[in-house]
Amino acid sequence: MRLAGIDFTCNPSRRKPVTVATGRLAGGVLRLDAVSALPTLAGFEAWLATLGLGPWLAAFDFPFGLPRAFVAANDLGGSCAEVIAAVHLRCPTRMAWRAFIDGWGNTQPAGARLLHRRTDRASAVGSTSPLQTRYVPVGLMYYEGVRRLVASGVSVPGLHAGDGERVALEGYPRRLAEQLVGRRSYKNSEHDDRRSAREGIVAALEDDALRHGLVLACDAALRATLVADASGDRLDAVLCLVQAAIASRRPGFGLPADIDPVEGWIAAD
């Protein structure tokens, strides 16, 4: 089975592409084969289509669902496919989606505007609300990413029935990063402390510091790019790849049996 980890962005460019790490798991060794950049959403769609022959398992760093209370309040549907279709029908652009969320939030009490899913609070490392469309705009990533996953025909366990040999999981690289280097920041800076944190994450993955019986292996040149990339995007893609590898060894990918079909679940803590 091919494995992949995807650091997603809702508006990719050459400066900030969708970043894809690919590899294979042999025994306890996760071999990192490549880290590639997709500078357009069309390129991301083409990448999904290229993988159409399967089998593959990939972890994507964007939310696959929305908070149940928000979905119910706005009558968006009862499944992943229904919700994303309703979102795009009502909001033909990302900015229309932002305005929709803002309009609803303005009717809510203070502190109840950016709701979270159950999975966002299921770990010691919480994740951002899928209704957040600024700062880290994961709500816009949901808008652009989920529609393309559903259209590609992949299977999203607990959310969408598709091709069982092409499986997409929701990942969150920060959860693994904090297990390896604590709350140290490792992204968006050339400073020595951030570079040191990136080096620490890579070294820990090579040493099975997560204690999953899984070590990362790659050639020296590729390894150097993970440490040198000040954005942290290449490393985030690799952390998602590791999450996919961990999930691949667990029954049912390690997901709970009671996943809410509009909220989804973050895989592989």
Q: What is the pLDDT of residues 94-136, one digit of tens each?
A: 999 999 999 999 999 988 999 999 999 999 899 999 999 999 9
Mean pLDDT within 7-26: 97
pLDDT of residue 161 exceeding 80, the answer is yes
Higher-confidence residue of 165 and 233: namely 233
The band of 159, judged by pLDDT with boundaries at 50, 70 and 90, is very high
Tokens 């816009």, residue located: 140
Domain presence at residue 115: yes
Q: Are residues 58 and 184 in the same domain?
A: yes
State the residue range of the domain holding 191: 2-63+169-248
Higher-confidence residue of 52 and 12: namely 12
pLDDT of residue 5 exceeding 90, the answer is yes
Q: Are residues 174 and 103 in the same domain?
A: no
| pLDDT in the model for residue 235 | 98
Q: State how far the Cα of 26 lies from the Cα of 156, in Å rounded to an integer.
A: 24
pLDDT of residue 269 exceeding 80, the answer is no
Domain presence at residue 155: no
Domain presence at residue 266: no
Domain presence at residue 263: no
Domain presence at residue 164: no
Mean pLDDT within 248-263: 96
Q: Are residues 48 and 173 in the same domain?
A: yes
